[in-house]
Amino acid sequence: MELDISTHVSGQIWKLEVSEGEMVSKEQIICIVECMKMEIPIVAAESGHLKCWHVSEQDSVIEGQSIGVLVKGV
């Protein structure tokens, strides 16, 4: 099952912590958004693998924006 990854804060993509195709576990930090000089982690909602990112590091994002796709399951 494909899950949309969205950011709950506006800011700038500071780090994409996993690459496309990489396995992730539930609650793992997969991306960090910089907002108001703070590093806000975006965590994986489920275990699975990262299908793709829609954004690159340094991109500006807004609250609720879809930033990637996670595939649930192994």
Partner 1 sequence: MVWDNEINELKQRQKLSKNQGGKESVSKHHAKGRLTIRERIDKLLDAKTFDEVGSGAGVPIYDAKDKLEDFQPANFVLGFGEIGSRKVIVGGEDFTLKGGSPNPAGLRKSVYAEHLALQYKIPLIRLHEGGGGAVGGTSQNKNHRPLGEPVFSISRFQPLAQTLGVIPVVTAALGPVAGLPASRLVASHFSIMTKNAAVLIAGPQVVKRALGKELSKEELGGPEVHLKSGVINNLAEDEEDAFYQIKRFLSFLPDNAWQRPKRIISSDSPNRFADELSSIVPKSSRQPFQMRKIINHIVDLDRGVTTFFEIGAKFGPSLITGLARLDGHSVAVIANDCMHYAGSMTASAAQKLRRFIDFCNSFHLPVISLIDEPGFMIGAESESEGTIRYGTEAISAVMQSRVPWASVQIHKAFGVAAQAHFGPQAYVLSWPSAKSGALPVEGGVAVAFSREIAAADDPAKRQRELEEMLATSQSPFPKSEGFSVHELIDPKETRVKLVNWLNLAVNAQTDTPEPFYFSMRP
Which positions touch partner 1 (CB under 8 A)? 8-10, 35-41
Q: How far is the CB of 74 from partner 1 (least distance, A)?
A: 28
Nearer to partner 1, 48 or 61 (CB): 61
Nearer to partner 1, 43 or 69 (CB): 43
Length of the chain, in residues: 74
Q: How far is the CB of 14 from partner 1 (least distance, A)?
A: 10
Q: What is the DSSP string of 10-53?
A: -EEEEEE-S-TT-EE-TT-EEEEEEETTEEEEEE-SSSEEEEEE
